[in-house]
């Protein structure tokens, strides 16, 4: 997939753990983990908004488009 999820990068920059982010955005650890590892097929705008609010960032800080990027599954 050409969409790269940089959630772990933003969490590291904000020194926030997955547990802490999970509490702030009211998502389960497993759902956040799926998103963080790039295995999610979709994300709701409301979830993206909550993550951006919690991490004080923009959607482009979390999601990146690399057209020639291929992931081997």
In a domain, 71, yes or no: no
72 in a structural domain: no
Is residue 70 over pLDDT 90?
A: no
The closest of 21, 30, 71, 29 to 50, measured between CA atoms, is 21
pLDDT digits (tens, 9 = 90+) for 3-62: 899 999 999 999 999 999 999 999 999 999 999 998 999 999 999 999 999 999 999 999
Number of H helices and E strands in the chain, helices first, is: 5, 2
For residues 8 and 1, the answer to whether their CB atoms sit within 8 Å is: no
CATH number reported for the structural domain that contains residue 32 in this entry: 1.10.260.40
> Is 42 among the domain residues?
yes
Host domain of residue 27: 3-65
CA 68 to chain centre: 21
CA distance linking residue 18 with residue 27, whole number of Å: 10
State how beta strands 63-65 and 3-5 pair. Answer: antiparallel
- Does some domain include residue 70? no
Work out how many domains the chain is built from and give that number.
1
């Amino acid at each position: 997939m050409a969409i790269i999820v940089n959630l772990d990068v933003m969490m590291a920059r904000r020194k926030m753990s997955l547990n802490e982010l999970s509490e702030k955005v009211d998502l389960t650890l497993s759902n956040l983990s799926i998103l963080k590892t790039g295995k999610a097929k979709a994300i709701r705008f409301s979830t993206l908004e909550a993550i951006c609010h919690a991490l004080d960032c923009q959607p482009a800080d979390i999601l990146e488009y690399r057209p020639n990027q291929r992931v081997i599954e």
